Amino acid sequence: MEPNSKRREDYRKKRSSLNLHRNHVLAAPTGALKGNLFARVCGIVLVLCVSCGLAWAAHMYFALHSAIDGQSGNSATSALIAQRKPISILILGVDQGLEGRHDRGNSDTLILATANPGKNKATMTSIPRDTLANILGDPGDKYNMFRVNSAYGIGGSKASMRTVSALLDVPINYYVEVNMKALKSLVNAVGGVDVNVPFDFSYDWCDFHKGKQHLNGRHAVAYVRMRHDDPRGDYGRQMRQRQVINAVVHKAISVDSIANYRNLVKIFTKYVRTNLTFNDMLALALTYRGCSQNIDSGYIQGHDAWINGSSIQVVSTAELQKASDKIRTNLDLEKKVLDNDETKLNKLNEQNNNIKWKDPNPFTNYQIYHSVVTDESENNSTGTDTSDDNSTGQ
């Protein structure tokens, strides 16, 4: 026998004598192989799903971040919000592009909101679009006393902030401007909304019937714009606006709507303007959320009047003072007695024209005394109350 063959034969004999066995501690049992394989596959699928979900969420986060902060180029959190101070936001619904308009348009909706995280309380005060106000644009420019919604056509959101701030003597820190065309797109993006229609009516070739009704984008716009056939006029329309806004918000945070987030981001980029940054909005959602559980919602009640052939809502000094007190209280500011152009006009009309605020009939003798509108009042109105620490100057 050759040497190599002999060595191989000796090795086989020694291995057989050692009685070596497979290591069953480290090796998986034969019967469990199929079950372990299934578990491993499930684990891999789970990891992939979680990874995809995180990637999707991150993509949506940065897409929203870019859409919002791209408007101003600023992404920092405002000092007021970072310090959890009370804040005020003027919400403007503008009608540019609707009904054949191609100019800047007017603000169809004006809502002044405040949030106080220390009190966990928010206020929402609707201001009728036809409210008589001293329209304030750029400092030094002179404008007429007219409907408050015309301020937007004069100078956009800044003019609206200045005008409303002077009307109620309150600081306004931020604005959110929503083009009414966005409402149609938003409602369609979330698959429509359900509302409880208060009464039967038709508007803009759309029919509405009392009770629960599903609205698409076109119907939603018609629903919130009609006011002449509403027994409550503009106040009834404000209620319907809040209905649709609440319904859109609830649908927007639902699972079905997240699949359409790309459309929502595009709509936001195209139709929404604000001086709030993405980090501001994120901080509001995280640290001001308690305010949403305690909202004092209301509106400023005006009195019908015909002034120089125009239908206008004139607000009594007592009503303006009540709104100012509520807003300033939630901003942790001391109440101040209103002394502006609007209250001065009220006083002159009460003295000279025997205006009675309890008279249910429209005023036909309310006059605008142009000598009341002074350069001093205009130059001192900046859209924010610089005498209070809660003003950001933005």
Give residue 288's Cα distance to chain centre: 14
Instruction: Give the model's pLDDT for residue 280.
Output: 84
Q: Residue 359: which of 350, 368, 351 has the closest Cα?
A: 350
Tokens read off for 206: 């759309």
Q: Residue 374: which of 338, 337, 342, 335 has the closest Cα?
A: 342
Q: Please report whether residue 248 resides in a domain.
A: no
Provide the sign of the torsion angle of the four alpha carbons 387, 286, 261, 254, taken in this order: negative
Query: Taking the CB of residue 309, how many other CB atoms lie within 10 A of it?
Result: 5
Instruction: Put the strands of the sheet holding 107-116 in their side by side order.
Output: 272-274, 174-179, 87-94, 107-116, 121-126, 295-299
Q: Residue 181: which of 128, 223, 218 has the closest Cα?
A: 218
- SS3 for 196? strand
Q: Please report whether residue 272 resides in a domain.
A: yes
Q: Please report whether residue 210 resides in a domain.
A: no
Inter-CA distances, 62 with 65, 70, 203, 289, Å: 5, 11, 40, 22
Residue whose entry in the numeric block shows the structure tokens 């405040």: 114
Per residue of the chain (394 residues), what is the pLDDT tens digit?
555 566 666 656 555 555 545 554 444 455 555 556 666 666 666 665 555 555 545 555 555 555 555 555 556 678 999 999 999 999 888 865 544 444 456 777 898 999 999 999 988 898 998 999 999 987 656 678 999 999 998 888 999 999 999 999 999 999 988 887 788 888 888 888 999 999 999 998 999 999 999 999 999 999 988 878 888 877 788 778 777 876 776 676 554 555 566 677 677 777 888 898 878 877 887 888 788 778 788 889 999 999 989 999 999 999 999 999 999 999 999 999 999 999 999 999 999 999 999 999 999 999 999 777 654 444 444 444 433 444 433 3
| CATH code assigned at 299 | 3.30.420.590
Q: Residue 363: which of 288, 306, 294 has the closest Cα?
A: 306
Q: Please report whether residue 251 resides in a domain.
A: no
The pTM score is 0.72
Question: Which helix (DSSP H) or strand (DSSP E) does residue 348 occupy?
Answer: helix 341-352
Q: Please report whether residue 113 resides in a domain.
A: yes
Q: Is 180:94 a contact under the CB 8 Å cutoff?
A: yes
What DSSP line would sit under 106-169, residue for residue? -EEEEEEEEEETTTTEEEEEE--TTBEEE---STT----EEETTHHHHHHHHHHHHHHHHHHHT
Instruction: Compute φ and ψ for 127, nearest 5 degrees.
Output: -115, 115
The domain of 143 spans: 77-190+260-379
Specify the number of domains making up the chain. Answer: 1
Q: Residue 385: which of 339, 328, 342, 345 has the closest Cα?
A: 328
Q: Is 297:124 a contact under the CB 8 Å cutoff?
A: yes
Instruction: Give the model's pLDDT for residue 241.
Output: 79
Question: Which helix (DSSP H) or strand (DSSP E) does residue 214 occupy?
Answer: strand 211-215
Q: Is 154:378 a contact under the CB 8 Å cutoff?
A: no
Instruction: Give the model's pLDDT for residue 290.
Output: 83
Strands 206-208 and 121-126: unpaired
* Burial degree of 300 (CB within 10 A; 0-12, 13-18, 19+): buried
Q: What is the CA radius of gyration of the chain?
A: 32
Q: Please report whether residue 343 resides in a domain.
A: yes
Q: Please report whether residue 96 resides in a domain.
A: yes
Q: Please report whether residue 230 resides in a domain.
A: no
Provide the sign of the torsion angle of the four alpha carbons 76, 79, 85, 87, taken in this order: negative
What DSSP line would sit under 232-279, residue for residue? TTHHHHHHHHHHHHHHHHHHHTSHHHHTTHHHHHHHHHHHEEES--HH
Residue whose entry in the numeric block shows the structure tokens 């929503």: 178
